[in-house]
Amino acid sequence: MENNTETVEDVKVEGTGEVGTQANENKVEEKAEKTYTQADFNAMDKKLKEKYEKKYSGIDIAKYKEWEESQKTAEQRQAEKEAEYVEKDKKIVLLENKLKLKDANVSKEYEDFVLFTVSNMEGEFEDNLGQFLKDNPKYIKGQEFIEQKATGTSVKSISSSETDGVLAILKQKHPDMNL
């Protein structure tokens, strides 16, 4: 006589096409809820370190790098040198452009913005910088900001000599005010 017992996990529910049962879902939930303490993590980390130290203990890194370098072709070495040259050239251009910003008296707080903006313009950096600063004098050190109203007219600040005259008139008309 054969043993024909089926477990709940092996039964396929007809019509739904799903094999999942409550028993399987509980197992999944148990695995999802597994957390590790710092001590557990440290123990696993230590085991992995020991495993790889044992596996790679006989390898000399310096000799490996030397061997790796000897395997490169002449074209690969040339390409690396060219890439290094291009990178150094970019750094030199960047530093030269920063010097040009300082010579143009660009305010320190706006140097990065002006450098980025002018560098992305087509044409020569110096020509673009001159035109940009001509159009945007607010980025130059010592320039006074002239605010503009919504109407487009400029707003002037009142100088101290004009203020003295206004205050004198106010004092004459209102001697009791403390101005």
Q: Could you tell me if residue 166 is inside a domain?
A: no
Q: Number of folded domains in the chain?
A: 1
pLDDT means over runs of 10, the chain (179 residues)? 50 52 60 84 94 84 86 87 95 93 90 93 92 91 55 57 71 78
Give CA–CA dist 145/141, Å, rounded: 11
> For the chain, where are the alpha helices, taking DSSP H only?
22-32, 38-55, 61-70, 74-103, 111-119, 125-135, 160-173
pLDDT at 31: 63
Q: How far, rounded to the nearest angstrom, does the alpha carbon of residue 112 sit from its chain's CA centroid? A: 14
Please tell me what DSSP assigns to residue 72. S
pLDDT of residue 41: 94
In this predicted structure, what is the pLDDT of residue 85? 96
Is 72 part of any domain? yes
Residue range of the domain that includes 118? 64-139
Residue 46 within a domain: no
In a domain, 81, yes or no: yes
Question: Quick check: is 168 in a domain?
Answer: no
- pTM of the predicted model as reported, rounded to 2 decimal places: 0.42
